[in-house]
Amino acid sequence: MAPSRAELDKRKTVGINPETVTNITSTDFPGHYPGEDAAWSTSKFAQGLTVQFHENSTDNATFSLIGIDASIANAFRRILIAEVPTLAIETCYFNDNTSVIADEVLAHRLGLIPLKGSLEGLRFLKWYIKPDPENGVEGMGPSDYNTVVLELKVKCEWKPNPKDDGEPEEKYEHSSVYARDIVWTPLGQQEERFKDCPVQPVNPGILIAKLRPGQEIHVVMHAHLGKGSDHAKFSPVGTATYRLLPKIDIVKPILGADARKFQNCFPKGVIDIERVTPQDIQSENSAYHGREGDEKAVVKDPMKDTVSRECLRHEEFNGKVKLGRVQDHFIFSVESTGQFPSDLLFLESVKVLKYKAKSLLSALDKYER
């Protein structure tokens, strides 16, 4: 006999108790429940998979993935952080640097500046393999399809008729070096590929260094594709997190002053206050009898809850509320560093996982032969 919807919901709800957490393991596998066939199938997975977007801006995306296992959700999170290829400054060639910042420190600062450009151009770029004769790696030379050349050339000088008591910006030209001072030098097909959006820093206002008259910085930079697993500068996200959907069940009515107190136990917007209606009084629940027009607590938006368990500390709510989290409902929050739109980043992570799956299947086929 197939389990009821209530039984299925109970199985995939993590119990949040005053001091413990229960039902945390997945039971969606064959043989766990006698007489039930939980064998995985593509059609069943596709039918149960749902994607819901809650926020979709260029820099931030919040969406829900429903109907997947925690291992898959965590794979997407880890891929977003460490395996989606991005463009970043990798090598710096200093022609001049008389600032107070050492070459290696300045190179590190330049590498951490997020870059952006046309998506067509970014997809045109290929991996750059650095030559390493000592280890027998032939590598390749810089080319328009694997290297983006940038240049920073700034010299600080006195302004005409400066004020002796003025701020440095009023007395000197280029007293502060910003990311906007970085200039892209297109090579080969790059000018055509990046015509919609040239390669440039995501935030032109990033402060790189401060100079005084006579000091100069002149550095040529090579940017390559890389992964966050190699260095954090290649990570395309500022944050990529997920959490389970909170579940709040009011099993017994919470009325009057208790309703207001119950509302204050949760973040704003989670619990709403409504009035007891004639329909409530006519229900089988005797707690509503004689309370028409009184206030009652209802769940408005559980997604805003932080699962603080505050309501479980009060005696008046004992046996009236159950807290939990839905095991297969993952609320993702993705913050892009600016190279890719936040929603596109998730699609890129899906491509990476798909490639990994195909590589595994290919390896298994070779092993069987």
Both structure tokens of 102: 């050492």
Angle between helices 342-368 and 70-82 (to 10 degrees): 110
pLDDT range class, residue 265, cuts 50, 70, 90? very high
Q: Provide CB contacts within 8 A for 363, sequence distance 6+.
A: none
The boundaries of the domain holding residue 117 are 87-235
Judgement on whether residues 211 and 312 belong to the same structural domain of the protein: no
User: In whole angstroms, what is the distance from residue 115 CA to residue 223 CA?
Assistant: 9
pLDDT at 1 over 70: no
User: In whole angstroms, what is the distance from residue 194 CA to residue 116 CA?
Assistant: 10
How many Cα atoms within 13 Å fall on the side-chain side of residue 244? 20
Judgement on whether residues 137 and 97 belong to the same structural domain of the protein: yes
CATH of residue 301's domain is 3.30.1360.10
State the burial class of residue 303 (Cβ atoms within 10 Å of its Cβ: 0-12, 13-18, 19+): middle
Judgement on whether residues 291 and 213 belong to the same structural domain of the protein: no
CB neighbourhood size of 308 (10 A): 13
Judgement on whether residues 99 and 168 belong to the same structural domain of the protein: yes
Domain count, the chain: 2
CATH of residue 189's domain is 2.170.120.12
pLDDT in tens, 283-337: 877 788 878 889 999 999 999 999 999 999 999 999 999 999 999 999 999 999 9
Domain contains 213: yes
Judgement on whether residues 183 and 152 belong to the same structural domain of the protein: yes
Judgement on whether residues 99 and 201 belong to the same structural domain of the protein: yes
Cα–Cα nearest to 241, from 353, 74, 84: 74
Identity of the amino acid at 65: L
Strand partners, 239: 335
User: In whole angstroms, what is the distance from residue 338 CA to residue 336 CA?
Assistant: 5
Judgement on whether residues 295 and 314 belong to the same structural domain of the protein: yes
Q: Supply the pTM of this predicted model.
A: 0.86
Judgement on whether residues 222 and 251 belong to the same structural domain of the protein: no
pLDDT at 53 over 70: yes
Backbone angles phi, psi at 42, to 5 degrees: -65, -45
How much of the chain is helix, strand and coil, in % rounded to 5?
Answer: 30, 30, 40
Judgement on whether residues 217 and 167 belong to the same structural domain of the protein: yes
pLDDT at 28 over 80: no
Both structure tokens of 50: 């749902």
pLDDT at 164 over 80: no
Judgement on whether residues 72 and 159 belong to the same structural domain of the protein: no
User: What's the average model confidence in pLDDT over 112-126?
Assistant: 94
Q: Let me know: does 347 contact 79? Beta carbons within 8 Å.
A: no
